Amino acid sequence: MAKYIVVAGGVMSGVGKGVTTASIGKILQEHGYKVTAIKIDPYLNYDAGTLRPTEHGEVWVTDDGGEIDQDLGTYERFLDMDIPRKNNITTGQVYKTIIDRERQGEYLGQTVQFIPHIPDEIKRRIKDTSNDFDFVLIEVGGTIGDYENIPFLFAAKSLEREIGKHNLSYVLVTYLPIPSHIEEMKTKPTQQAIRLLSESGIFPDFIICRAKKALDIVRKKKIETYANIISEHVISEPDIETVYQIPLDLEKEKLGEKILKEFGMKSKKQPNWNEWKKLVENILNPKKNVKVAIVGKYIDIGDYNLADSYISINQSLLHAGASLGIGVDIDWLDSKKFEDNKKNLNELKNYDGIIVPGGFGASGVEGKIMAAGFARENKIPYLGLCYGLQLAVVEFARNVCGLKDANTTEVEPKTKNPVIDVQPAQREILEKHMYGGTMRLGAYAAVMKEKTQVLRLYQETGRLHEDTKRIQELMKDKSQTFRLGILEKGKKIVLERHRHRYEVNPKYVNLLEKNGMVFSGYYERFDKTKLMEYIEMPGQFMIGTQAHPEFKSRLGNPSPMFYGFVKACISNH
Ligand code: GLN
């Protein structure tokens, strides 16, 4: 049976609970255990698909099409594994399930109540993620003392009663401020958090103390006495330069061994942090730096569908850089400045590479198209992510194929040359398969063209092999085979995650190809429609993908597209 570790946060939000949870997971993995992690979000939204990114950070997309809080992304980046959507539990999901059940008469006349029905449903969802894992980490969102997370603490307590305390541990991640006017680290807010947690009957087994500095003996003792736990279980987690240092720092305090001991367990293997240390070292002291421009729209904060939080892209560049010993400096350029004055495009010459990331809506689009054109003409390495592919296609259609009015119907619904468009048949399928929207969401297979730059990148990074295993898993699950589409035997297949509505219009593919654009991979739906997944320009690094490869980049296992891009930036340096 799985062991559970409940991680709750005290004092305030933003102390790094997600990263701490991921780090504990990484540590237990290094000690030889199979680990997964759950994020509990105490809001009433069913998922994060409709949340404003400027408030909640970017939406994370899972292989199985979940739109989720970005903490799941942190787990995947640390644990190097694909985590399914069911590992995100929201209050909205819990209530919806219960109300739906009640409407279907499944409670047979019972009064449906907070207790026991809500904690029971939470427990059912938690256990449902456990499969054959040794450890399940459960990060409770929000801060102790919030009304919203009480049901989840109650459920944890109830799970503890059910499976026994020896199978469940509590970790409190807290914050110790050093107010500037007294320059002394204060433990009082942590004491309050401990007291608030005890109101739910929970006494932490470990207290992880986030602060500017490591705790001294005096503060550790204070917390030890107040929380009634041994001081070895009060662990410092001081500010650091890169989050990937955290597992190493926590291991300096022997957190792995201590947690295992708490469960009466021992390490299954001697942890080997050499590889991880080397990557961290590369992040901290790169041999060389390249400079990348990310051209997006950054100011329309009132816009609902703003996709302008780019944590995953940031992380993907960091991972690719770490593997290559290269630091990547990022400048965020507002595409509208190119629309205001074409001369501003020359600024792009100062960069080793250009990224046009995902986005929605019409604002800033012309500027992004101009940037794509500038990259193509000046042979500056270019990586187009989703919208970045679509707009590079629009640019190529206009300026190389001579279709002056080419556009995406997202921006110009009546354009005569809709090179990017929603596919009618696809919309039908989407509506049948997905709830909550009409997006193509989650992992889709791409059949790769031989001898292309993109295929080479997947080979070079070992992703082709990894994806073959994953494809076999997907084949077994009938509800997911639409993600693979038609796969011809002997073809090379890769998987990336998607989140978009529009596609390269199949009617224009021939014309674009004739003019020199290479489509390096496609997804073939069961009705034989081929959707283009990758573009590249021969003789230069100008690559685009309809997917979001940034969702599958991990430290030590970088995304092929980003890896290739950073390498191209070095050559262009
Ligand atoms: N707006 C485009 C679409 O929906 C691109 C989306 C994206 O970049 N994620 O197809």
- Phi, psi angle pair for 381, to nearest 5°: -50, 135
Average pLDDT of the residues in 217-236 = 88
Residue 401 has pLDDT above 90, yes or no: yes
- Taking residues 30-39, report their average pLDDT: 97
Kindly report the backbone phi and psi dihedral angles of residue 29, in degrees, each rounded to the nearest multiple of 5, phi listed first: -60, -45
For residue 420, the ligand 1 atom closest to its alpha carbon is 10
Tell me: the pLDDT tens digits for 463-515?
988 778 888 888 888 888 999 999 888 889 999 999 999 999 999 999 999 99
Ligand 1 atom with the shortest distance to the CA of 358: 8
Of 231-245, 448-462, 533-547, the range with the lowest mean pLDDT is: 231-245
- Predicted confidence at residue 302, as pLDDT, reads 47
pLDDT at site 56: 56
Q: 388-400 burial, b for 16+ CB within 10 Å, e for fewer?
A: bbbbbbbbbbbbe
Q: Distance (Å, rounded) from C-alpha 376 to C-alpha 378?
A: 6
Question: What distance in angstroms lies between residue 33's CA and the mean position of ligand 1's atoms?
Answer: 38
Confidence of residue 98 (pLDDT cuts 50, 70, 90): very high
| Fold (topology level) of 3-277 | Rossmann fold (3.40.50)
Say yes or no to pLDDT of 306 above 80: no
CA distance 27 to 135: 11
Task: Look over the chain and give the mean of its residue pLDDT values, rounded to a whole number.
Answer: 91
What local confidence, expressed as pLDDT, does residue 480 receive? 87
Stretch 18-24: mean pLDDT: 97
300 has a pLDDT exceeding 90: no
Mean of the pLDDT values across residues 374-381? Answer: 98
Per-residue pLDDT reduced to its tens digit, 140-173: 998 998 898 999 999 999 999 999 999 999 999 9
> What sign results for the dihedral spanned by CA atoms 199, 200, 204, 205?
positive
Whether 522 is in the pocket of ligand 1, judged by its Cβ within 6 Å, is no
Which one, of 470, 465, 518, 513, lies nearest residue 492 by Cα? 465
The residue whose CA has the least distance to atom 1 of ligand 1 is 360
Three-state SS at 224:
helix
pLDDT bucket at 305, cuts 50 / 70 / 90: very low
Q: Does pLDDT of 389 surpass 60?
A: yes
Give the predicted TM-score (pTM) of the model: 0.92
Q: Flag whether pLDDT at 318 surpasses 90.
A: yes
Cα(55)–Cα(57) distance, rounded to whole angstroms?
Answer: 6
Ligand 1 close to Cβ of residue 151 (< 6 A): no
For the chain, give every domain's residue range.
3-277, 287-420+503-572
What are the pLDDT digits (tens) for 344-375? 999 999 999 999 999 888 889 999 999 999 99
555: pLDDT strictly greater than 90: yes
The predicted structure's pLDDT at residue 388: 97
Q: Which fold has domain 287-420+503-572?
A: Rossmann fold (3.40.50)
Substitution candidate for ligand 1 out of 500, 504, 533 with most atoms within 8 A of CB: 500
Domains 3-277 and 287-420+503-572 share a fold: yes
What is the model's pLDDT at position 435? Answer: 45
500 lines ligand 1 (CB under 6 A): yes
How much distance in Å is there from the Cα of 393 to the middle of ligand 1? Answer: 13
Percentage of the chain surpassing pLDDT 70?
94
- How much is the pLDDT for 179? 87
- Does ligand 1 lie within 6 Å of residue 387's CB atom? yes
Burial class (CB in 10 A: 0-12, 13-18, 19+), 463: buried
User: What pLDDT band is residue 281 in, cutting at 50, 70 and 90?
Assistant: very high
Residue 328: phi and psi, rounded to 5, are -115, 115
Of 51-60, 252-261, 394-403, 540-549, minimum mean pLDDT range? 51-60
Predicted confidence band of residue 303 (pLDDT cuts 50, 70, 90): very low
How far is ligand 1, taken at its centre, from the CA of residue 368, in Å? 13
What does the alpha-carbon distance between residue 55 and residue 105 come to, in Å, rounded to a whole number? 38
Residue 432 pLDDT class (50, 70, 90 cuts): low
3-class DSSP assignment, residue 418: strand
| 364 touches ligand 1 (CB under 6 Å) | no
The whole-number average pLDDT for the span 223-244 is 90
Q: Provide the H-helix boundaries in 211-335.
A: 217-227, 246-252, 255-262, 274-284, 311-324
Residue 188: pLDDT above 90?
no
Q: What is the whole-number distance in angstroms between the Cα of residue 360 and the centre of ligand 1?
A: 5
